Amino acid sequence: MSASSVAPGDYEGIRKQIKAVLKQPGYDDGSAGPIFVRLAWHASGTYSAKPGNGGSNGAGMRFAPESTDGANAGLEHARAFLEPIKAANPWISYADLWTLAGVTAVEAMNGPKVPWTPGRTDFPSEKEANTRGDIENRLPDAAQGAQHIRDVFYRMGFNDQEIVALSGAHNLGRCHTDRSGFDGQWVVNPTRFSNQFFKLLLTRKWVPKKWDGPFQYETVVAGTPVMALPTDMALIEDPKFRVWAEKYAKDQKLFFEHFAAAFGKLIELGVSRDGKGIALVAGAGGCPFAH
């Protein structure tokens, strides 16, 4: 798939290029949309408010240890789908491209418009990426429960409401046995954003899947087998999380509003821009067209 060049700073043009690579016949459910959302999330979810490192700025996932972190298994597909766009438009940083791909995908899959601001820069090499300090083991583990979810998301600066809203992203995509070890999709149509994930969690009879793989729940919806992770189940088992899961199951508009705000906040974590709107990272010379 070849991509075209657009003028430096033409982010609408880049959005069009991203939309053009969303359709991926032969890959998963025919769409790169869900994995773009996961790429934006994992690029950002390494953030820690204290000591104030990690996050999407710098695009550290191009280098070890982020690129080889087991939690990021499979995201090389997302990065590869976007590579022709970067090659044709070297002026955009990977950090901006990955986060823009996530928000463009959400919108293209029937979801809300998520606020997005450019200005992220890239670490020139692994050496600079690793001046950030230790950002390993910061992404959540699906086998755990509510306490772990809070530990991870409070560290980033989110509250219970934002945690539940963000978790609604599991309306999209699927688990792969060769990536996380878990298997299957959460909803019947995994490439259309909606509040179906919350509805199913609250209304279906979930049973442990009988298999050799990691513990997960399953049920069947209109002939389609769907799944839930232990962390998904924590969203209805924990009383404080459940309040929000119930609100979002009833009101898709509210879910979309809260998701857009929380996802917009997620991709901004740790991105601090100068007067020109540039968020410099160690070793980066800044954005060429801004000078």
- Encoded one letter per residue, x for contact with ligand ZEM by CB under 6 A and - for no contact, window 65-84 reads ---------x----------
Active site residue 258: no
Q: How far is the CB of 276 from ligand ZEM (least distance, A)?
A: 29
Of positions 15, 79, 138, 174, contacts ligand ZEM by CB under 6 A:
174
Catalytic residue among 42, 77, 170, 258: 42
- The DSSP annotation for 96-116 comes to HHHHHHHHHHHHHTT-PPPP-
Q: How far is the CB of 233 from ligand ZEM (least distance, A)?
A: 11
Which residue's C-beta sits nearest to ligand ZEM?
173
Sign of the dihedral defined by the CA atoms of residues 172, 178, 184, 186, in that order: negative
Query: CB 144: neighbour CB atoms within 10 A?
Result: 15
Q: In this complex, which beta carbon is closest to ligand ZEM, that of residue 167 or of residue 252?
A: 167
Can residue 101 be called a binding residue for ligand ZEM (CB under 6 A)? no
Q: How far is the CB of 124 from ligand ZEM (least distance, A)?
A: 28
Contact 255, 195 (CB under 8 A): yes
Distance, CA of 10 to CA of 94 (rounded, Å): 15
Question: Which residues sit opposite 233 in a β-bridge?
Answer: none
Catalytic residue among 98, 116, 186, 244: 186
- The DSSP annotation for 7-60 comes to -TT-HHHHHHHHHHHHB-TTSTTTBSHHHHHHHHHHHHTT-BTTTTB-SSTB-G
Can residue 47 be called a binding residue for ligand ZEM (CB under 6 A)? no
Could you tell me whether strands 174-175 and 207-208 are parallel, antiparallel, or unpaired per DSSP bridges? unpaired
Can residue 62 be called a binding residue for ligand ZEM (CB under 6 A)? no
Can residue 112 be called a binding residue for ligand ZEM (CB under 6 A)? no
Query: CB 69: neighbour CB atoms within 10 A?
Result: 18
Sign of the dihedral defined by the CA atoms of residues 100, 102, 106, 108, in that order: positive
- Encoded one letter per residue, x for contact with ligand ZEM by CB under 6 A and - for no contact, window 143-172 reads ------x----------------xx-xx-x
Contact 128, 285 (CB under 8 A): no
User: Using CB under 6 A, which residues numbered 204 to 243 contact ligand ZEM?
Assistant: 229, 231
Question: Tokens 């459940």 appear where?
Answer: 242
Q: In this complex, which beta carbon is closest to ligand ZEM, that of residue 92 or of residue 228?
A: 228
Can residue 263 be called a binding residue for ligand ZEM (CB under 6 A)? yes
Active site residue 116: no
Residues designated as active site: 42, 186
Chain contacts with ligand ZEM (rule: CB under 6 A): 34-35, 37-38, 41, 74, 140, 142, 149, 166-167, 169-170, 172-176, 179-180, 182, 229, 231, 263
